[in-house]
Structure 1
Amino acid sequence: MDEMSPADAKPLRADAERNRQAIICAAGRVLAEEGTAVTLEHIADTAGVGVGTIYRRFASIDELVAVVLEAKMTRYADRTEHAANQALTEPWGAFADYVMYMLEQQATDLAFSEVVLNPNTATALFRSEIRRALHASVLLVDRVKEAGAVRGDFDHSDLYLLLNANAGLIRGVDGAKSGEWRRFGCYMLQAFREMGTEPLPPLPSTSQTTGRASRLRRV
């Protein structure tokens, strides 16, 4: 049998790259719409490639999620650091824009929402970026509180509550298409900015709050 020439090998490499890009594009759509509880077989079917093809390139759904969301997680951490820096001169604008940014990212990408809310299940790369975003968001809250841009009893953990509530909203009413997340965000920003006539319930016990913070900082 004649040996394959370099010219003959090139189309195979091009086909392999096209298949890989088709898989990544299909995975981006599926993960954004359905979250991470999907199978590689489902993504292979969406991409129009064989199951063997996808398994030769990605050993698990977690590996594929990492490739699809890598750049997005880095942008998320960068955006959080930008908000913290902006808060030095525009505290309320920085805070409000950041809150709406987070809610929109959740609404348009369910996989992103799940990874951000459950960092212990994320890859090492994602945990690093989530940790960077966490530290920047703590700094953001400290700066907007110091500037008096939010109510005095606002706590950083309220952002965590906000993200969980928004996750339920977009799952329940297809918030990405309906835009309910935007109305919800505006409501919550008003609540974060203005003191009510009655005090808020106390924060969770020190042990609960400390435990949550410790889990986030370990990711």
Structure 2
Amino acid sequence: MRTTTGDVAKPLRADAERNRQAIISAAARVFAEQGTSVTLEHVASVAGVGVGTIYRRFPSVESLVTVVMEQKIRLYADRSEQAAAQAKGDARAAFSDFVFFMLQQQATDLAFSDLILSPRGASESFRSEIGRALDASILLVERAKAAAVVRDDFDHSDLYLMLNANAGIVRGMGRTAPDSWRRFGQYMLQAFSEPGATELVPPPGAWARVARARSDAASRRRATR
């Protein structure tokens, strides 16, 4: 039977594949240094290709982000699940290591920071992986609280507060003080573990409801396995 052109995707010509790889490599550097709020024209300039070339392969910044960040977001979800599993035996190390992991990923890749803080514009697959990471981090926090690693009034949303604060630190001080995220992380771990002298303002109700709903759903899934 004769194969039609629609049956099998044609491989890219050698020069076209070189251009594609140059674009992806340049985009990885640009996204890490500047985040996702860049233009395709800027990426094309860094890659040394024409604007028409990049638009033929990637019609939007979002489509390029999906290709460049796919593996990193998947590894983030995997790492989150590993931390939750580790917390069954050593909740203190699991929680501490995970906090520093997230802060370091933000410090070394602004695109990663953008995506985990605001995944709404991300692809469906990205949102799925970020959701997987969220479920695992909620379980991690539950196990950390059960092991008295964090204070009684610690809330999962405090991790989100931390990530937002660190995003500002990295953007504001990343070039002049590239290790500032480490000191910030040390402060946060102390604050998360030591009871304060005064009562904290309650966490935002919407965040608490989301975490509770996802925790309940995850518990039901684990119960049926």
Say whether the fold is shared (TM-score over 0.5).
yes
**TM bucket normalised to smaller:** 0.7 to 0.9
Query: Separation in 1 of the partners of 2:62 and 2:188?
Result: 33
Taking a change above 3 Å as real, the CA distance of residues 183 and 148 of structure 1, as seen in their structure-2 partners, is: same
Amino acid in the other structure paired with 1:169: I
What does residue 196 of structure 2 align with?
A: 196
Query: Separation in 2 of the partners of 1:127 and 1:63?
Result: 14
What does residue 75 of structure 1 align with?
A: 75
User: Is the contact made by 2:26 and 2:46 (CA closer than 8 Å) also made in structure 1?
Assistant: yes
Residues 153-192 of structure 1 aligned to structure 2 (within 5 Å): 153-174=153-174, 178-192=178-192
Amino acid in the other structure paired with 1:200: L
What does residue 9 of structure 1 align with?
A: none
Counting matched residue pairs gives 203
Amino acid in the other structure paired with 1:114: D
Deviation, 1:69, is 0.2
What does residue 85 of structure 1 align with?
A: 85
User: Is the contact made by 1:20 and 1:57 (CA closer than 8 Å) also made in structure 2?
Assistant: yes
Any gaps of 5 or more consecutive residues in structure 2? Answer: 1-11, 215-225
Residues 36-185 of structure 1 aligned to structure 2 (within 5 Å): 36-174=36-174, 178-185=178-185
Q: Deviations over 1:67-108 (max 9, x none)?
A: 000000000000000000000001000000000000010111
Amino acid in the other structure paired with 2:78: D
For the aligned residue pairs, the C-alpha RMSD in angstroms reads: 1.9
Deviation, 1:144, is 0.7
Any gaps of 5 or more consecutive residues in structure 1? Answer: 1-11
Do residues 210 (structure 1) and 209 (structure 2) align? yes
What does residue 7 of structure 1 align with?
A: none
Deviation, 1:177, is 5.5
More helix by share: 1
What's the TM-score once normalised by structure 2's chain length? 0.85
Query: Separation in 2 of the partners of 1:200 and 1:166?
Result: 20
User: Is the contact made by 1:26 and 1:47 (CA closer than 8 Å) also made in structure 2?
Assistant: yes
Deviation, 1:208, is 6.2
Which piece of structure 1 moves more, 56-65 or 171-180?
171-180
Which piece of structure 1 moves more, 174-183 or 113-122?
174-183
Query: Separation in 2 of the partners of 1:153 and 1:176?
Result: 35
Taking a change above 3 Å as real, the CA distance of residues 181 and 208 of structure 1, as seen in their structure-2 partners, is: closer
Query: Separation in 1 of the partners of 2:184 and 2:175?
Result: 10
Deviation, 1:202, is 2.4
User: Is the contact made by 1:175 and 1:181 (CA closer than 8 Å) also made in structure 2?
Assistant: no
Query: Separation in 1 of the partners of 2:190 and 2:82?
Result: 22
Deviation, 1:214, is 7.4
User: Is the contact made by 1:24 and 1:68 (CA closer than 8 Å) also made in structure 2?
Assistant: yes
